[in-house]
A and B are shown apart, each in its own frame.
Chain A
């Protein structure tokens, strides 16, 4: 029979393995996907802990310190490990009369891990601890790991908050698309007939509209006086308006192919109710596909949000997202003078690639019986 070979243990293990174990074993073979998964998890941790990882108040404006270049940490003092930053001294350039900052090596500000900084709230509780804090001066005035933007705000801290916004908008948008996609795709695939035809035509029409002009139109239609939160949700809705179509297709396709499986017929003949057939037989076999499709949909959402905000049609300041940050890097001049403003492209690229690798790996592993 099925057993009795040299490695009865391994055989036994496989024959008792559930769907998720098999998927996991298959996923484990995808090195790239696993690296992607780790990076994605790290990024979402950053999104969760943005307040803690930032050390400066992202809205703290100081025009005097605009466009400061990155200002590094000194890790050793007198050969001992004692991280500190030097102070900054403002002088006026005698030729251009522009204010420039030079490092003042006579002033040292020690850095503390888990020290006190600006106050933040999480789940209604107030905290003031940060991963990095400066002793002797407000962090906003001396610590600039990645430099500052044109209003003198610390880029590192803003990047932390931008990561939170951009990643959650992707997640929220996908959740909404998922809801619409499963509902409409499920109806389409399960009932078929004229309803299916209608939904498929609607999807085709939506997908044939070029996305950028559509988003631009919708984005431009958002009232200027809306609050940051309102715009945030409006953008999610706009993004998922298109995002659901792909997921609906995946769901419909799975439903259609599952309807043909004999085990579905067998379940019906056994006397199972519709609900039992859907939830006991159909959903488990496309859940993994949905997860993969969802993972692949998130990067598209993130890119879209970034593009929209970059064009000034998505989130608007004071909201902080990757796209909003990159708005500062829009002209060649600012790039030439302050190249650190392009740094926010790095997380965009890294996250998009990681999510794509992860999604690819999940998609390959999603059907362990194929």
Chain B
């Protein structure tokens, strides 16, 4: 499924984002929340990479750093633009503006992502307006086209967001994200706030749009069940770190990281006989403000050795496009899911 010949559009290296914890009258910094703690991943042009991890593991923070809504503490965010590759991480806000149009984001909460005081036309056309398309008629035509593209009627242009349901709002958010023809779209759990009945519609819409427009997608999700059918590759995240990245079939069939194995076991299975196999994660998710030593996963890991408690594993490539951060990656045989 993955095509290694395609060029890499986004290359994130050793991304870190620490939030200071402040206390007391003078707001002294007493520590840091390591929301993103060494994330390395890349996305090829035209593919979908899913970023999966439990709530609070830093997926949103990673996404916001990549689109530079947040300033990363360190690391590189290399984006290939029309005239070469640029590292977005160190750029100040002012210098980011010409790059913004290449990367857009779809938000998790469809109620917070649309300004309730603006009409659909104003919302969807704002990216064009601030990027130099002043002519109203041009923008109207484009908004009508975009609304149709995401499955809404162009006549809705004059309405305000409060007239729409969650799923429809998410469509509006998608239309806005597409307004400037971005090469990369980051979707941060775009369906997890929606009714189950609507989720599939929005996922299908994203797939259709990707095929139609040749989009590159970084798709964030909190469990593996959603991502199976939509992504070429999956990156699994645990407490601010990527623990395993692999092509989707490989990851599901033969995971190499114990955490991936545990996540796969948690995926609901159609076959009720397999229920007994739910060996699950014990213990609490590590606190990103006070992570464990060595491998962050070792307190919950069934295969942990003494080495895991002291030494942080490095990411290594165990097969083509298959990266794992685990000391025992090469010796363990872990259970995946066969078919679904």
Q: Does A90 contact B (CB under 8 A)?
A: no
**Are B127's CB and A271's CB within 8 A?**
yes
Known: A19-B117, A265-B69. A271 touches B97 (CB 8 A): yes
Q: Does B14 contact A (CB under 8 A)?
A: no
**Are A269's CB and B67's CB within 8 A?**
yes
Partner of A271, one of B64, B101, B153: B101
**Are B127's CB and A1's CB within 8 A?**
no
Count of CB-CB pairs between chains A and B under 8 Å: 87
Complex: how many Å from CA A220 to CA B238?
66
Name which residue of chain B comes closest to A3, CB basis: B163
B177, chain A: closest CB distance, angstroms: 8
**Are A1's CB and B117's CB within 8 A?**
no
**Are B100's CB and A269's CB within 8 A?**
yes
Q: Is the interface of A mostly helix, strand, loop or mixed?
A: helix
Q: Which of B50-58, B107-115, B283-291 touches A? A: B107-115
Q: Tell me the residues in window 98-138 of chain B with beta carbons closer than 8 Å to chain A beta carbons.
A: 100-101, 103-105, 107-109, 112-117, 126-127, 130-131
Q: Which of A9-17, A57-65, A142-150, A348-356 touches B? A: A9-17
Q: Does A48 contact B (CB under 8 A)?
A: no
Give the size of the chain A interface in residues (CB under 8 angstroms). Answer: 31
Q: Does A347 contact B (CB under 8 A)?
A: no
B82, chain A: closest CB distance, angstroms: 16
Q: Does A281 contact B (CB under 8 A)?
A: yes
Could you give, for residues 1-31 of chain A, a 1 whenever the CB lies within 8 Å of some chain B CB and a 0 otherwise? 1100000000100111111001000000000
Q: Does A225 contact B (CB under 8 A)?
A: no
Residues of B within 8 A of A14 (CB): 162-163
Q: Does A209 contact B (CB under 8 A)?
A: no
A284, chain B: closest CB distance, angstroms: 5
Known: A1-B153, A271-B130, A272-B130. A265 touches B116 (CB 8 A): no
Known: A2-B165, A269-B67, A271-B97. A369 touches B104 (CB 8 A): no
Name which residue of chain A comes closest to B113, CB basis: A262
Name which residue of chain A comes closest to B97, CB basis: A271
Q: Does A197 contact B (CB under 8 A)?
A: yes
Q: Does A95 contact B (CB under 8 A)?
A: no
Q: Tell me the residues in window 1-54 of chain B with beta carbons closer than 8 Å to chain A beta carbons.
A: 25-27
**Are A266's CB and B130's CB within 8 A?**
no
**Are B69's CB and A197's CB within 8 A?**
no
Partner of A284, one of B117, B173, B179: B117
Q: Does A268 contact B (CB under 8 A)?
A: yes
Complex: how many Å from CA A185 to CA B27?
18
Q: Does B302 contact A (CB under 8 A)?
A: no
Q: Does B158 contact A (CB under 8 A)?
A: yes
**Interface centre among A15, A18, A268, A284, by most B CB within 10 Å?**
A15
Complex: how many Å from CA A262 to CA B100?
16
Complex: how many Å from CA A97 to CA B127?
87
Could you give, for residues 248-270 of chain A, a 1 whenever the CB lies within 8 Å of some chain B CB and a 0 otherwise? 00000000000011110111111
Name which residue of chain A comes closest to B173, CB basis: A266
**Are B27's CB and A273's CB within 8 A?**
no
**Are A369's CB and B112's CB within 8 A?**
no
Known: A15-B163, A18-B117, A369-B162. A269 touches B105 (CB 8 A): yes
**Are A273's CB and B130's CB within 8 A?**
yes
Residues of B within 8 A of A18 (CB): 117, 160
**Are B116's CB and A2's CB within 8 A?**
no
A30, chain B: closest CB distance, angstroms: 20
B259, chain A: closest CB distance, angstroms: 29
A1, chain B: closest CB distance, angstroms: 7
Could you give, for residues 148-177 of chain B, a 1 whenever the CB lies within 8 Å of some chain A CB and a 0 otherwise? 000011001011101111001000010010
**Are A270's CB and B127's CB within 8 A?**
yes
**Are A270's CB and B100's CB within 8 A?**
yes
Partner of B160, one of A11, A17, A197: A17
A266, chain B: closest CB distance, angstroms: 6
Name which residue of chain A comes closest to B122, CB basis: A280
Known: A269-B104, A285-B117. A261 touches B112 (CB 8 A): yes
Q: Does A89 contact B (CB under 8 A)?
A: no
Name which residue of chain A comes closest to B180, CB basis: A270
Complex: how many Å from CA A263 to CA B179?
15
Complex: how many Å from CA A269 to CA B123?
13
Known: A15-B159, A16-B158. A266 touches B131 (CB 8 A): no
Having A262-B113, A266-B173, A271-B127, one finds 11 other A-B pairs with CB under 8 Å, namely: A1-B153, A2-B165, A17-B160, A262-B107, A267-B126, A269-B100, A270-B100, A270-B126, A270-B176, A369-B116, A369-B162
Please name 8 pairs of A and B residues whose Cβ atoms are closer than 8 Å in the assembled complex, sorted by A. Answer: A1-B153, A2-B165, A14-B162, A16-B158, A265-B105, A265-B107, A268-B69, A285-B116
**Residues of chain A having any CB pair with chain B under 8 Å:** 1-2, 11, 14-19, 22, 194, 197, 201, 260-263, 265-273, 276, 281, 284-285, 369
Q: What 3 A-B pairs are tightest by C-beta distance, nearest first?
A: A15-B163, A270-B127, A262-B113
